[in-house]
Chain A
């Protein structure tokens, strides 16, 4: 689906590394694998859950890449790279194997994938509000 851009007003005490740690602490217990890459002032965080292998048939995979960039008193958040391929595979499997079960799991996966950017944004908002 579409990529998302959000902008947040940040106080002077804001430290991007702390926000990344906050996101890690929030999403890792929920089973997400988190990769962090820093390029200059920007930080890229990738969240992944149930990706690859047999999960490809269930359609329950979730993925999101978030790019953080700090510009003066604003934090720009660019969410992209969502994962839809496994939902397509699950849809096809449900179709010709008569296993309608994968349609149900794919529907759950679609819901979770669409919710993931909102959850991340909610976490960012919570962190910034707490400063």
Chain B
């Protein structure tokens, strides 16, 4: 047991700082997923869906050619992938072009607008804008009740 821990420690120490941080972050996300039954950090902690909730389900529906469901799960899922591409390029090059910046600002505004609209029209009854009863906050409230 001790030697396993020792070798794990040696392994971690030999890795760069970002790798260790990423590993801890991923472990925390996995723990949150097990505890709260969701891969969304916001939903896992406070139980309320975030502006990105439904993107994974929209992508799966899109891949299986179920377009109405894809757009119901998240109407901006295609824009999200454009954003991911732009952010990746920005991170790799260390620069944000004017066009990228404008697209990101527009998508930021659109995401907030769509989130507000979905919170008004879909929350808390229609997926993906359903509250998570297993969130940490709800579990904490249950514990004290």
- A residues engaging B (CB < 8 A)? 51-54, 56-57, 85-86, 88-89, 91-93, 95-101
Contact = CB atoms under 8 A, between A and B. Distances in A.
B50 A92 contact: no
Contacts of A100: 41-42, 50
Nearest to A57: B91
Given A51-B94, A96-B80, 17 more contacts: A52-B94, A56-B94, A56-B96, A85-B96, A86-B96, A88-B96, A88-B104, A89-B87, A89-B104, A92-B111, A95-B50, A95-B108, A96-B84, A98-B40, A98-B50, A98-B53, A99-B41
9 contacts: A52-B95, A54-B91, A56-B87, A56-B90, A91-B108, A95-B111, A95-B112, A98-B41, A98-B43
Contacts of A96: 51-52, 55, 80, 83-84, 111
A88 B105 contact: yes
Pick the 3 closest A-B CB pairs, nearest first. Answer: A52-B94, A85-B96, A96-B52
Contact of A53 (B50, B55, B94, B112): B94
Interface of B: 18, 39-43, 50-53, 55, 80, 83-84, 87, 90-91, 94-96, 101, 104-105, 107-108, 111-112
Contacts of A85: 90, 96, 101
Contacts of A51: 94
Question: Majority SS of interface residues in chain B?
Answer: helix
Contact of A89 (B40, B43, B55, B96): B96
Contacts of A97: 52
A91 B51 CA distance: 11
A93 B55 CA distance: 13
Contact of B52 (A52, A91, A95): A95
Contacts of B84: 96
Contacts of B41: 98-101
Contacts of B18: 54
Contacts of B51: 95-96
Contact of A92 (B42, B43, B104): B104
B108 A88 contact: yes
B100 to A, nearest CB: 8
Of the listed residues B55, B83, B87, the one surrounded by the most CB atoms of chain A closer than 10 A to its CB is B87
Contacts of A101: 41
Given A85-B101, A92-B83, A96-B51, A56 B108 contact: no
